[in-house]
Amino acid sequence: MRKIPKTVTADEAVSVVKSGDLIYLSGFANTPETLLNALCRRADRHEFENVRILQLMTFGPAPYMAEKYAGIFVNDLFFVGENNRKAVHAGFADYLPVGLSDTQNLFRTGRLKCDVAMIKVTPPDRHGYVSLGVSVDITLSAVMTAKKVIAIIDSSSPRTLGDALIPYSKIDYAVIATQPLPEVLYPPSGPLDITIGRNCAELIDDGACLQMGIGSIPNAILSQLGGHKDLGIHTEMFSDNVMPLVENGIINGERKQIDTGKLVTSFMMGSRKFYDFINDNPLVLMKDIGYTNDPFIISQNDNVVAINSALEVDLTGQIAADSIGTSMYSGIGGQLDFVYGANRSKNGKGIIAISSQTNKGKSKIVPVLTPGAGITTPRHLVHYVITEYGIVDLYGKSLQERAALLIEIAHPDHREELEKAAFERFGKFFLYRKSRKMLKKN
């Protein structure tokens, strides 16, 4: 006979947490805020200490990272977001540098032992399964290895399929609660984003299998694909920007070599309309992050186009995407997984797409990375770099050739300074190459 979870209040559920425990939080729109608030109430009463909280990316105010809880909670993050960046910079939380594809291995190999997994799921179906909804990613591995699983049962959560479905019996304590799903909305893409999107679209052939995130540039890229055919999706996450292309038959996955016809992803965020779109949608295949982000699985599809971004690109092609100097901004995420997977794919393309400068007018193409910055993707794996000023392919190019090409797509206000830095670095034989055969311009 299957175990039936015990239905309790949030305060009763978190009473199982004791000093020294490791808690994993499901993230994104599945952040279990009701449980976190109850946990903070216990912390206010000093009922435990040294409780480690591990998460990928959560939504909401993150009160458990407040200074008053230092020593009560120890916060470690696989990805630094808006709701915890200040806490990380102040030292009340810390970043755990692991590539996204490997995060689930920390639980499955026992390197990290999860005492309590706090998650949010749909009500059970007639077969006794609940859905993890928008957050399979690392959550599945935490659920399968945790000593105790506490779940918010939320009827407003979208029911997704694939690896999102888990037996209701895996849950120890069920808390019935409805939390409004946080929505992620992005403003329309501006002219600069559209130009970058148009440049990226030049490299996307009919039948390509796409990976890209969310934001103004990915939105702009997808807006330029209205004339394409038979595109596919294999990504770590997607959002609203994919819906119009699916509805118009442009994204159908028919030419994918694996998971044909499916929109493969591991976590999602978006609008209410998007959550309705993915609810019980057989086109959407939710998979463990160890599957979606495995470069060897990614490369089994032909014509993979992986589009990622960067905070800085140095003149040799090194990519910094998770930190500005020693200051953490985001995380390694899946960039390296997908760049490598795309490079291994037959006719694949790994693309770094950026605006040429920041909103404050600072060049994103720099002589050297800001001291202390982490290298998210090493230069030997970087092929295409795109700005609003054009497209360059660094594959097979020398350091001097790379510098010359990257200067060509830098903002005009910074090119002289970059050329001077390249000349000082490479000496008097540095050639500022402007060969049109190596550069596609607008």
Tell me the catalytic residues.
Answer: 236
Tokens of 69: 């809880």
Distance CA 87, CA 22 (A): 19
CA distances from 356 to 198, 320, 431 (A): 15, 14, 22
Q: What is the DSSP code (8-state) at residue 377?
A: B
What is 305-339 written as a DSSP string?
EEEE--SEEETT--EE-SEETTEE-S--TTHHHHH
Q: Are 346 and 379 in contact (CB under 8 A)?
A: no
In the three-class reduction of DSSP (H, G, I as helix; E, B as strand; rest coil), residue 387 is classed as strand
How long a stretch of residues is the chain? 442
CA distances from 224 to 271, 272, 407 (A): 21, 24, 26
Distance CA 309, CA 324 (A): 14
Enumerate the H helices of 335-398 as residue ranges: 335-344
3-state DSSP helix/strand/coil % of the chain, to nearest 5: 30, 20, 50
Tokens of 261: 């016809």
In the three-class reduction of DSSP (H, G, I as helix; E, B as strand; rest coil), residue 41 is classed as helix
Q: Are 64 and 32 in contact (CB under 8 A)?
A: no
- Of 418, 401, 324, the residue nearest 370 (C-alpha): 324
Task: Show the CA angle centred on residue 433, arms to residues 428 and 436, nearest 5°.
Answer: 170
Q: Are 341 and 295 in contact (CB under 8 A)?
A: yes
For residue 151, list its beta bridge partners.
119, 174
Distance CA 4, CA 26 (A): 22
